[in-house]
Amino acid sequence: MSGLLLILLVAAPAIAAASALVSNNARLAEGVNLLAAAVSLACAILLVIAAGAGRGGTWWAGYILLDVTGAWVVLCGAVVYLLASIYAIGYMRLLDEEERLPRFYALFAAFALTILAGPLMNNAGLYWIAIELTTLVSTFLVAFERDAGAMEAAWKYIIVVSAGISVALLGTVILYWGGSLVLGPTYDLTWQELRRAAPEMNPGILTLAFLLVLVGYGTKVGLAPMHTWLPDAHSESPAPVSAMLSGALLNAAMLGIVRFLSIVDAAKVGSLPRGAFIGLGLFSVLVGTLFIVRQRGVKRLMAYSSVEHMGIMALGFGFGGPLGVAGALYHMLNHSLNKSLMFFGAGNAMRAYGTKRIAGIGDVMGRMPSQGGLWLAGAAAITGAPPFGLFLSELTILRAGFHGGYDWIAWAMALLLIVIFIGFLNHFRIMYFEVEQARPAKALARLSTWCIAPMWLALLPLLAFGVWWPQGFSAYFDLVAHSLLGSQP
């Protein structure tokens, strides 16, 4: 049964991409893509249930792995894929690019395919290929609007990220070489085989390999100081693509670091690997904070928020233990929902006011009350304010830091979160309550239900997860924590 679900998970977006390519009908392309997203989410939910019930394993000669960690990342990606597919129907019609829409949906579905397939790779080399494919496909989506800013962002994205991914490949090759000294010149580069051989590998080789992987995949994740591509790509992409980049792609890349961390943990090589991961996480929160406070562009504001939240997630996995892993995984899901909501709101505001500048947006609640209310609620949620899901996940990560002996790091994180809360919401105070903001010369663009419905679909779970932590999640996160440690729950 799980094997069939895995096939459907990737076949649905593959069929959608092929259908859009051979068809010149924009309505058909958007409908098939939406159906594929719904099928993928249904499969992802069932795969999480199967993995949690112990029905995971490997398929197709051991190249495909269904485990509790990868299944959760797939679920987060599928959630964003569906929300972004709904939103894209309304948003992309506003761009007056009817003839190019089939190509957009072909690329969009192919992008989703690479994101969903990457976490299922049971081979470190194949995982690298999958992550590189996400870059190649999404570059064309970043540049879709074809203006000067979008083209520059696409070039910067592919150059910086490809350079980072090349560093990750070097780390993978070095790790393979270290394994060959133990397992022989040829062996399966699976996660299980690497973790089994890790205690016998040279600690220096393992540490060097992990640091290279951390920098390489950390570039894709958007960890500072390798984050320089992220603000441009997120801000210049169409809003549904921005949501996929932030809420789905970054998680898939983070999984690579987490899997490699579990390998070096099995070898007990010392504190340097985990310390470097935590250090980059805290530095990312700091950089995100500084740029959030001084930001002038509305989508760049959301982009630097992604840098911050990836840093928080890195701190959770870096702190480790059941609390740290649970907080990081819960944060992953809540961030995927919340950042989708925020980019949808930003896209609505940009199309309604005809500008990306915060200074050009004003009296949002008075002019677009329904969308404005949802976007403001999302803004409160993204800063970690109660009663939303990110408050619980950040609180859990802080507890993990104090429990693990990282007291000063946890205090620094807490202080930065307070600054982010003030700085982020100050920008929304300007857009919502300063009536003297710049006004568009013409009437506000009319936004369809397609642009509003996914905001509700993202906000309601965020609110539910803020007041209720499902018991099933706790049991599942405990399985992930023990899986990463290589022990039984």
Report if residue 136 sits inside a domain.
yes
Cα–Cα separations (whole angstroms), residue 244 to 78, 81, 298, 422: 10, 7, 17, 27
State the sign of the Cα–Cα–Cα–Cα dihedral 109, 115, 121, 126. positive
pLDDT of 442 reads 45
As given in the structure block, the two tokens for residue 157 are 């994205």
**How far apart are alpha carbons 58 and 51 in whole angstroms?**
11
Token pair, residue 36, equals: 């594929």
Q: What is the pLDDT of residue 437?
A: 54
Q: What is the pLDDT of residue 388?
A: 96
Residue 41 lies in a domain: no
Extract the residue ranges of the chain whose pLDDT is less than 50: 441-443, 488-489
- From 361, 161, 355, select the one nearest 245 (Cα to Cα): 161
- pLDDT, one tens digit per residue, over 89-98 is 999 998 888 8
Residue 99 counted as domain residue = no
Q: What is the pLDDT of residues 452-479, one digit of tens each?
A: 999 999 999 999 999 999 999 999 999 9
What total of structural domains would you count in the chain? 1
pLDDT of residue 106: 96
Q: What is residue 406's three-state secondary structure?
A: coil
Residue 305 maps to a domain: yes
What pLDDT is attached to residue 436? 55
pLDDT of res. 61: 85
Write out the residue range of the structural domain in which residue 402 sits: 124-485
